[in-house]
């Protein structure tokens, strides 16, 4: 029996209207009350994706779904904390012919717009709203555009599935994602709950911002053989960054000298990225200082295996059990 094409499924979803359900469970309320900055007005479950997003998403949903896609776009799609910024900088330089001069003078936030950033913070301050209209920023960006998105595939712009631009998806070991996302919420979003509380919300697949982790990941893993989809992993990037750069360049149809590939690998070294004000969000921290804790750093460690070190043995075992149940029979190799 032939397998249904992911694009056939996409066309079915495109014909379905989005539905919103307010989420007010004890667990969601506990999670909301533990965050100071982005869940203050509550969350909604969005169908057909089952993704949980801040209620403010309803104001942006149509603009994102109807976004005008260009065939020469490159979309960086990930679950949060999987190496998104790292990949954005790599891809932007590859499609812009290694323009290091511009990359060192213009912030990645404007070079590679985060299209749904506007609904993340529950704040109606005019200054913030102007800074965060990244849909307009993406609309007005010159081609080829490099656009970042964390939304699940069925909430992405409809034209992604008809115009079929390049999509680079990045995944990461689930325990490292959990710990990194916990620290992201704690430092940048004012989360006051414990790591165990955060893990409970993460594995409930019902309260943490964005799509449930395994659904998001496996949806794109199942598209890995599509000509316009490339799946990289954080672990591969850490192990062999030059190799991943070459692989991604080939996918994008770009050719460079060995010296240029090595120069890009040097530029993308984590220690350099962490100290690079064009990619480490220091500029945004100054503009929107109240959203950051004083000790917040957008890039923390950039290591593989942090989750195993920071989770208790009992919690790590729960995460492993939860993960194995969801990836059974998928052939997914990057469990972590």
Catalytically active residues are: 150
Judge contact between 13 and 4, C-beta under 8 A. no
- E strands, 100-187, are 146-149, 166-171
Are the C-beta atoms of 289 and 131 separated by less than 8 Å? no
| Token digits of residue 233 | 């992993």
Cα separation, 302 vs 281, in Å, equals 15
Of 265, 160, 298, 153, nearest to 218 (Cα)?
A: 153
Look at residues 25, 31, 23 and name the one whose alpha carbon lies nearest to residue 201: 31
| Look-up of token digits 């149940």 | 325
- Contact predicate 333/171, CB 8 Å: no
The alpha-helical segments, DSSP class H, found in 46-107 are 61-65, 84-95, 100-103
Buried b (16+ CB within 10 A) or exposed e, 62-97: ebbbebebeeebbbbbbbbbbbbbbbbbbbbbbbee
Alpha carbons 34 and 42: distance in angstroms, whole number: 12
DSSP code of residue 210 = B
User: CB of 296 within 8 A of CB of 285?
Assistant: yes
Say how far apart CA 172 and CA 305 lie, in whole Å.
10
């Amino acid at each position: 029996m032939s397998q249904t094409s992911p694009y056939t499924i996409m066309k079915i979803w495109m014909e379905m209207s989005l539905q919103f359900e307010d989420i007010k469970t004890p667990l969601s309320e506990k999670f909301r009350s533990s965050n100071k900055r982005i869940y203050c007005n509550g969350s909604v479950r969005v169908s057909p994706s089952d993704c949980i997003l801040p209620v403010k998403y309803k104001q942006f949903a149509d603009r994102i779904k109807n976004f005008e896609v260009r065939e020469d776009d490159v979309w960086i799609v990930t679950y949060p904390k999987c190496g998104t910024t790292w990949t954005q900088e790599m891809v932007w330089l590859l499609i812009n012919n290694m323009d290091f001069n511009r990359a060192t003078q213009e912030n990645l936030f404007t070079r590679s717009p985060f299209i749904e950033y506007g609904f993340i913070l529950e704040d109606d301050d005019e200054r913030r709203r102007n800074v965060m209209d990244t849909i307009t920023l993406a609309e007005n960006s010159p081609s080829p555009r490099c656009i970042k998105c964390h939304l699940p595939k069925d909430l992405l712009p409809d034209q992604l599935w008809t115009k079929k631009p390049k999509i680079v998806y990045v995944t990461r070991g689930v325990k490292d994602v959990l710990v990194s996302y916990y620290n992201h919420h704690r430092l940048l979003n004012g989360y006051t709950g414990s790591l165990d509380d955060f893990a409970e919300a993460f594995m409930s697949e019902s309260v943490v911002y964005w799509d449930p982790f395994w659904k998001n990941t496996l949806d794109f893993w199942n598209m890995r053989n599509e000509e316009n989809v490339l799946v990289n992993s954080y672990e591969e990037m850490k192990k062999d960054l030059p190799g991943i750069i070459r692989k991604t360049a080939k996918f994008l149809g770009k050719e460079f000298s060995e010296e240029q590939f090595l120069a890009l690998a040097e530029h993308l070294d984590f220690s350099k990225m962490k100290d690079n004000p064009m990619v480490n969000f220091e500029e945004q921290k100054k503009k929107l200082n109240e959203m950051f804790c004083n000790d917040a750093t957008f890039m923390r460690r950039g290591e593989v295996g942090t989750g195993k070190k920071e989770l208790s043995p009992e919690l790590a075992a729960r995460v492993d059990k939860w993960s194995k149940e969801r990836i059974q029979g998928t052939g997914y190799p990057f469990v972590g």
